[in-house]
Amino acid sequence: AQSVAQPEDQVNVAEGNPLTVKCTYSVSGNPYLFWYVQYPNRGLQFLLKYITGDNLVKGSYGFEAEFNKSQTSFHLKKPSALVSDSALYFCAVGQGTGSARQLTFGSGTQLTVLP
């Protein structure tokens, strides 16, 4: 069975500072890893994904994530946080054909960027 852990329920960071939202995963075989962002009362928006290739993946809104196979991690990062980045972030892992049916979501991390 596959699983995802987001160890931090809440991350606070000052505007302009770098941010990191942590994610670790457990899956047999090669993982497909995703980050989604959710604003209040909205659905999830896709940020980025890792399928294969370079370990550093760049996504929307200046976000990037680094796939670390040895540490089974896929932390989300941004060099300079904006207040508008404040939202709920979900890490997800998938296998197989990539259908959403096979996605397992982490518990989510609430990011608050302080002005």
Q: d(Cα 15, Cα 19) in Å, to the nearest integer?
A: 9
103 binds other proteins (CB under 8 A): yes
Which residue in the set 32, 63, 67, 74 belongs to the binding site for other proteins (CB under 8 A)?
32
Q: What share of the chain is helix, strand, coil (3-state, %, to 5)?
A: 10, 50, 40
> In the 8-state DSSP scheme, what is residue 41?
T
Beta strand pairing call for 10-14 and 109-114: parallel
**3-class SS at 6?**
coil
CB atoms within 10 A of CB 111: 22
34 binds other proteins (CB under 8 A): yes
Q: How near is the Cβ of 75 to other proteins at its closest, in Å?
A: 18
107 binds other proteins (CB under 8 A): yes
- By C-beta, is 96 or 115 nearer to other proteins? 96
Site residues (CB under 8 A) for other proteins, limited to 41-70: 41-46, 49, 51
**3-class SS at 84?**
helix
Q: How near is the Cβ of 30 to other proteins at its closest, in Å?
A: 9
- Where along the sequence are the contacts to other proteins (CB under 8 A)? 9, 32, 34, 36, 41-46, 49, 51, 90, 94, 96-101, 103, 105-108, 110
